[in-house]
Copies of this chain bind each other. A is one copy, B any other.
Amino acid sequence: MSLALRDPIHDYIHLDDLEAAVLQSRPMQRLRSVRQLGLANLVFPGAEHSRFSHVLGAMELAGKMYDVLAERKPDLLERDPRSPLRRNVRLAALLHDIGHAPFSHSSEELFEEGIDHEQMTEHLLALPELCDLFETDDAEVGIEPVRKILRGDGGDPSDRLLAQIVSGELDVDKMDYLLRDSHYCGVGYGNYDLGRLLETIVPLQEPETGQWGLGIEEGGVHAYEALVLARYYMFTQVYFNVTGKVLELHLNEWLKESGVRWPRDPVRFLEYDDLWVWSQMRGSDTLHARAILQRQHYVLAFETREHLSSSERNHFVTALDSVRERARGIEILVSNSAKDPHGLGASAVLVRDADGGLQPLQDVSEFIRYLTRIERFRVYTPQEDRKSVRAMLKAELEQ
């Protein structure tokens, strides 16, 4: 039952028997009905791809990254295509997104209290229909090591490295979604030099803690920068697209007014996907449903710059509150698109120079520090209120 699937990004992807069985499971198949980019296809018609193909790609890259790292540090990661460590990290990448709500990130906030998509992933992994698949003869490959990788809390020297492959500054999640999303959107950004990156990643030991983590050789610094920039451009131009954002706001309004929440119970959760939402919405005839179904969405009345300082932020929020107060009769939807283009401040991606010296990436890269946090507010209103809201807001802001 081993499987070979064709993928537009990575060509053939081969799955062994266990991977193929996992792929056929309900939590995985559900991802076929969760679009990778939520409602973005209403703006970028090509962006119709699901989270299903993304996780296949992430799995493929996890294997490739493992192989590169194992070649450079074989005493830490065994150089063998059938190594349990390699199989576990591939399975972790395959399964890392099963907890995603319908429309991926668009409706993340609607989980029942005390839960988010990562916890849902944990719950789903515990379902017998998944667990039982892992009862193979190789005791070292299993649901437990996969959870350890996803939680990032293993104790072995190699555990942190495997966890970073799946989730970290330089993980297969973003390595795949950047290539995939730009391919499907048909945009010219989002690309980076995957070949060069794989050529230069290396396991490095942090001098102070002695912990192993993903690092990069000096010759790969520019390839890494380019990945960061690709992400930055996808956020500013696709994920935070002005029309995509208002549709997302309407979606959330509709879900709230309909009393929809993503259930805490994993078996019930499995019933919720994009398809379920669309079916419900079609039976509805509210303003927010029509906004999406018939594209009668609100229009942009005002947007801030793309990068607000904290005082600009406060100033805007105050002005907005004041306008909301004055314009009580008018429906206003506000999006706040915020993202750090990288997490280099907090994490420690190390760069190794030709002499073996180690430095944090942000000390080596000349301009990456100046890629400031994206933070932009957008104010949407019905077409007829656009001008007045804009005028009010501008007046408030100039005070």
Contact with B along A5-20 (1 / 0, CB 8 A): 1111101100000000
* B295 and A185 contact, CB distance less than 8 A: no
Give the chain B neighbours of A188 by CB distance below 8 A.
Answer: 191-196, 223, 226
Within the complex, the shortest CB–CB distance from A342 to chain B, in Å, comes to: 12
Report Cα–Cα, A48/B274, bound state, in Å. Answer: 14
Q: How far is the CA of A42 from the CA of B185 in the complex (A)?
A: 21
Could you give 19 example pairs across A and B, Cβ below 8 Å? A4-B199, A6-B45, A6-B195, A9-B186, A11-B186, A11-B195, A12-B195, A12-B199, A33-B278, A46-B49, A188-B196, A189-B193, A189-B222, A222-B233, A222-B236, A226-B229, A226-B233, A275-B282, A306-B366
Q: Please tell me if the beta carbons of A295 and B24 are within 8 angstroms of each other in the complex.
A: yes
- Report the stretch among A158-166, A311-319, A367-375 that lies at the interface: A367-375
Given contacts A11-B186, A12-B195, contact A6 B44 (CB under 8 A): yes
CA distance A282 to B188 in the complex (A): 39
**A239 on the B face (CB < 8 A):** no
Q: A367-B371, A367-B372 are in contact. List 17 more A-B contacts (CB 8 A).
A: A6-B44, A7-B45, A11-B186, A24-B295, A26-B294, A33-B278, A48-B49, A48-B50, A48-B53, A188-B192, A188-B223, A189-B193, A222-B236, A279-B279, A307-B366, A366-B372, A367-B367
Interface residues of A (CB under 8 A from B): 4-9, 11-12, 24, 26, 29, 32-33, 41-42, 44-46, 48-50, 52-53, 56, 183-189, 191-196, 199, 222-223, 226, 229, 233, 236-237, 275, 278-279, 282, 294-295, 306-307, 366-367, 369-372
For A279, the chain B residues whose CB sits under 8 A away are 275, 279
Bound-state Cα–Cα, A181 to B49, Å: 13
User: Known interface pairs A193-B189, A222-B189. Does A48 touch B48 (Cβ–Cβ under 8 Å)?
Assistant: yes
User: Given the complex of chains A and B, what is the CA–CA distance between A50 and B275 in angstroms?
Assistant: 15
CB of A186 within 8 A of CB of B8, answer yes
Q: Please report the C-alpha to C-alpha distance between residue A5 and residue B186 in the assembled complex, in whole angstroms.
A: 10
Which of chain B's residues has its CB closest to A5's CB?
A: B45
- What is the distance, in angstroms, from A6's C-beta to the closest C-beta of chain B? 5
Contacts of A4 in B (CB 8 A): 199
Q: A46's closest neighbor in chain B, by CB?
A: B8
Considering the complex, give the chain B residue whose CB is closest to the CB of A11. Answer: B195
- From residue A362, how far is it (CB to closest CB) to chain B in Å? 12
A366 vs B375: C-alpha distance when bound (angstroms):
12
A341 to B12 Cα, complex, angstroms: 27
A193 vs B369: C-alpha distance when bound (angstroms): 24
Give complex CA distance A24, B372 in Å.
37
Measured between beta carbons, the chain B residues less than 8 angstroms from A184 are: 8
Query: A183 — nearest CB in chain B belongs to which residue?
Result: B8
Contact residues in B for A42 (Cβ distance below 8 Å) = 32
Nearest B-chain residue to A52, judged by Cβ: B45
B residues near A294, Cβ cutoff 8 Å = 26
Q: Are A6 and B48 closer than 8 Å at their CB atoms?
A: no
Q: Shortest beta-carbon distance, A277 to chain B, in Å?
A: 10
The docked-state distance in angstroms from the alpha carbon of A7 to that of B183 is: 10
C-alpha gap A7/B46 in the complex (Å): 6
Give Cα A199 to B186, complex, Å: 14
CB-CB under 8 A from A32, the residues of chain B are 41-42
Q: Among the listed B29, B194, B222, B370, which residue makes an inter-chain contact with A366, where contact means beta carbons less than 8 Å apart?
A: B370
